[in-house]
Amino acid sequence: MAPNSRFLCASPDYLARRGVPSEPQDLAGHDCIVLRENDEDVTLWRFRRKRSEVAVRVPATLSSNDGEVARQWALAGKGIVMRSEWDVAESLRSGRLVRLLPEWELPDADVVALVASRAGMSARVKLFLSFLQARFKPLPPWRR
């Protein structure tokens, strides 16, 4: 397993035009990019800070079932997106995206390897899992 947080991000261009939200509730007045996955309610974003929890219904200005498309829209200044840390880490480091509301936590999306059963696992799968463990320890690449 590797730790992977989710972040709210937007481009500097979008923030210059629309302003920076200071609280989760401010998102209701912004253009939000949502990623459609399974049957989840993708317009209800949940935040946690200390003992406070807040759920905000965001306007889905753009939606896609492709995370790469959603990230590209954010980079192009089309709105605010919630993405996994591993997907936006480089864009945050380069300044192409800006992390928003960093004092609020979003639900984690840790990276895990699912296998049918440890018993009877092939040598190839064992080797691959060992490779992943070595690659993600002590820190995964997106946190280096």
- Residues 52-106 pLDDT 10s: 899 999 999 999 999 999 999 999 999 999 998 988 999 999 999 999 999 999 9
Q: What is the pLDDT of residue 48?
A: 94
Tell me which DSSP letter residue 82 carries.
E
What range does the domain containing 28 cover? 6-100
Task: Determine, yes or no, domain membership for 114.
Answer: no
Task: Determine, yes or no, domain membership for 78.
Answer: yes
The mean pLDDT value for 13-35 works out to: 96
Kindly give the pairing relationship between strand 60-64 and strand 32-35.
parallel
d(CA 40, CA 107): 13
Helix (H, G, I), strand (E, B) or coil at 88: helix
Task: Determine, yes or no, domain membership for 124.
Answer: no
Element spanning 124, H or E: helix 123-136
| Overall domain count for the chain | 1
Q: What is the pLDDT of residue 118?
A: 67
Task: Determine, yes or no, domain membership for 14.
Answer: yes
Task: Determine, yes or no, domain membership for 24.
Answer: yes
Which of the two residues, 129 and 13, has the higher pLDDT score? 13
Could you tell me the CATH number of the domain that includes residue 31? 3.40.190.10
Helix (H, G, I), strand (E, B) or coil at 117: coil
Q: pTM of this prediction?
A: 0.81
Report residue 47 as tokens: 């935040």
